[in-house]
């Protein structure tokens, strides 16, 4: 179902309680418990559909349980986005090894028309991004919804490029915003500290 107001969804929507697990017959055959509902402030309530750079369907809720570093970008950006990715790499490098191994690094493209999964796969290869990175394509509507929830502003210019906020968001394992860093190059230590703190939750 398409959401008419993503902010209303994030902060006020009531969640359907998880289903009761079936009654077990004996200790060796316990059924799996239904997944707990997302918290009221979790970005993972967003039901937008994404596609990763391997062409597989992806939902943000897949990231639950991990600390996340997330940014929005477009792959043909010639200045800010490469710096943004570089900042994310520096955050990663500064993390304690146990946190670094758990963390997920996510890039969501503004450019729904040109940043196809194949284009994102090429960007991954060019930037030497390993399996800890997730690169996502989505429809223009889904991109707008996520951007609104993150507080990211963007606009496509006449030449096809995008002017946009340079924002790195740290999500805790529940998908709640724990920290945001605005701008380029500065504030990396604070972002890394916020990420390490969320990993303890």
Greater pLDDT, 16 or 92: 92
Which residue segments constitute the domains of the chain, with CATH numbers given? 41-198 (3.40.30.10)
Task: Give tens-digit pLDDT for 27-83.
Answer: 443 333 346 788 888 999 998 999 999 999 999 999 999 999 999 999 999 889 999
Average per-residue pLDDT for the chain: 85
pTM of the model: 0.81
Residue 191's alpha-carbon distances to 24, 45, 81, 125, 136, in angstroms, are 45, 24, 17, 26, 22
pLDDT at 25: 42
Instruction: Report d(CA 177, CA 41) in Å as an integer.
Output: 8
pLDDT category at 183 given cuts 50, 70, 90 is confident
pLDDT value at 18 more than 90: no
pLDDT value at 171 more than 90: yes
């Amino acid at each position: 179902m398409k959401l008419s107001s993503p902010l209303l969804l994030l902060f006020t929507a009531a969640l359907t309680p998880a289903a009761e697990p079936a009654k077990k017959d004996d200790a060796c055959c316990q059924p799996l418990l239904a997944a707990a509902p997302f918290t009221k402030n979790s970005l993972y309530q967003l039901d937008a559909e994404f596609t990763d750079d391997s062409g597989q369907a992806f939902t943000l809720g897949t990231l639950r349980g991990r600390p996340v570093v997330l940014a929005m970008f477009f792959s043909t950006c010639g200045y800010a986005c490469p710096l943004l990715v570089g900042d994310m790499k520096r955050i990663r490098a500064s993390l304690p090894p146990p946190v670094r191994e758990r963390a997920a690094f996510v890039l969501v493209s503004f450019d729904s028309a040109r940043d196809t999964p194949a284009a994102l796969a090429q960007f991954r290869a060019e930037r030497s991004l390993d399996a800890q990175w997730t690169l996502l394509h989505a429809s223009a509507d889904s991109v707008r919804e996520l951007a609104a929830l993150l507080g990211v502003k963007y606009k496509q210019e006449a030449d096809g490029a995008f002017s946009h906020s340079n924002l790195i968001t740290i999500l805790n394992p529940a998908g709640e915003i724990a920290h945001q860093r605005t701008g380029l190059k500065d504030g990396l230590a604070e972002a890394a500290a916020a990420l390490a703190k969320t990993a303890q939750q």
